[in-house]
Amino acid sequence: GTPVHETPLATWDLLLNLNARTAYIASSAVIPAMLRQGSGKIVNVAARAALQGAAKLGAYSASKGAVIRLTEAMAAELKNDGINVNCVLPSTIDTPDNRAAMPKADPSRWVKSEALADVILFLASDAARAVHGAAIPVYGTG
């Protein structure tokens, strides 16, 4: 990343669009049907970086923080309509792309995709029927 004052506006826009705007668009597309059926589950993906700003991650942290606030707002709006809206906050996910981008890192400490999927599956299940507006940390051992 870059310091906030050196971050190109195009990068700022890219990250806000990639993270917050896509969560908004996807939710807007499915909520009307969920309202008609009287139930539904939305699980957004934010990130650990959403909880605290860090040097050279301002745009990324802000965009993921916006996902948490959007999740909370939608949860408050929709919980009485039978719709649960929550999000997960993974740290670095162990993917081939992340391994290639960070060859000196220790991927054994990263979140395994399967572990993240387990948390998302829980939030999408009836077992999470009383969970609204949660931001669930999924950090692995790192």
Catalytically active residues are 60
Instruction: Please list, in sequence order, all residues whose beta carbon lies within 8 angstroms of the beta carbon of residue 93, skipping any fewer than 6 positions away.
Output: 110, 111, 112, 113, 116
Q: List Cα–Cα distances, 51 to 40, 46, 63, 64, 71, in angstroms.
A: 26, 10, 11, 9, 14
- Cα 49 to chain centroid distance, Å, stands at 10
Distance CA 10, CA 12 (A): 5
- Amino acid residing at 133: G
- Cα 7 to chain centroid distance, Å, stands at 22
